[in-house]
Chains A and B, each alone.
Chain A
């Protein structure tokens, strides 16, 4: 399996897109920190950019990669390798390269400007978020045979998590404003990894004004330390579940 991972990573690096992504992240975080004289404010700006860009790049890049390497996957399947290890190698290769890109692009500037626990948690969530959207991409591409449909689906999923989800939550809030919605709303928060990451960082930064409704409820319910660990746990489930389902489908898939 280690060898297959090696070839996947070599293949990914060859496309140069990942290098561009690293550079973009680096320029972005470096300029954000240089522009703001208050580091906490810089961190917030960066957070909002991160929550937008990382999922987008992770999901689109991974989906396109899986579709483009269909021949490569076929070649591997015809060798005496377990399908499980092929799929996990693809997952490991993709997430390693995306996480490393994030660590170099955003991690280095954050460590440099904000070497505190907040900075570390921010780096951790960024990495988790990259991996989560890799697994979602795997999930999409294993179900859709057609490349165009699959890529469209990936973009739609990103749109849903990044933008539309908030709209739905607000809609629910207004429709059922006569009822006590705090707890159901908190449960809904678990359904969106981007929301979870935002809450996680904001709990740590303690800027309740920016936490949004879900975040405030979350804080009241769990308190900051327990809230952070529960949010972290939910992110890990967001990695494990799509990976598990896509693996099961891939094992039986007719290539």
Chain B
């Protein structure tokens, strides 16, 4: 799922979803249409992609990403542009998929939204990996509950 989804302008949401299903030959895979329903996409299926706002595009991207229930999901800033309600829906979905044993990689700079989602953290700065830790180990080390605070603490330690 890309940070900014780019789609053919004059296709409707319905056509895009249908095309994706068609191309990926999904006779024997269960389609996961949960997000399509929860995001209320059926109501706007006939809107053309160029008329959609950033948030709605993001909903379409998310629905498409989860549609084929792949084993590995790579989400680039998944909640960028989403309203609070949809953002919560997406987070719940991510947690649900995580507990069912899927590998999910999220890139984000909004640390506060990652708190309940992640189990491991890889912190990168200017293209270099600064550290890669279990989240529980990180909390123990810094004595902070919140991810954003513990990261800030580590960064301060490194500087001094």
Contact = CB atoms under 8 A, between A and B. Distances in A.
Contacts, number: 27
The interface residues of chain B, by DSSP majority, are classed as loop
Contact of B8 (A4, A75, A79, A81): A75
Interface stretch (A66-74, A143-151, A220-228): A66-74
Interface in B27-85: none
B20 A79 contact: yes
Nearest to A81: B23
B19 interface: yes
A14 B10 contact: yes
B109 interface: no
Contact of A75 (B6, B10, B22, B24): B6
B2 interface: yes
Interface residues of A toward B: which range? Answer: 10 to 19
Contact of A69 (B8, B19, B22): B8
A71 B23 contact: no
A108 to B, nearest CB: 30
Nearest to B22: A3
A79 B24 contact: yes
In the complex, which of the residues A4, A14, A78 has the most CB atoms of chain B within 10 Å of its own CB atom?
A78
A71 B9 contact: yes
Contact of B24 (A7, A11, A80): A80
Contacts of A3: 22-23
A71 B24 contact: no
Interface in A74-102: 74-76, 78-81
Contacts of B10: 14
Interface of B: 2, 6-10, 16, 19-20, 22-24
6 tightest Cβ-Cβ pairs between the two chains A and B: A71-B6, A72-B8, A71-B8, A74-B6, A3-B23, A3-B22
Given A4-B23, A75-B7, A75-B16, 15 more contacts: A7-B23, A11-B8, A70-B6, A71-B6, A71-B7, A71-B9, A72-B7, A74-B6, A75-B6, A75-B8, A76-B23, A78-B2, A79-B20, A79-B24, A80-B24
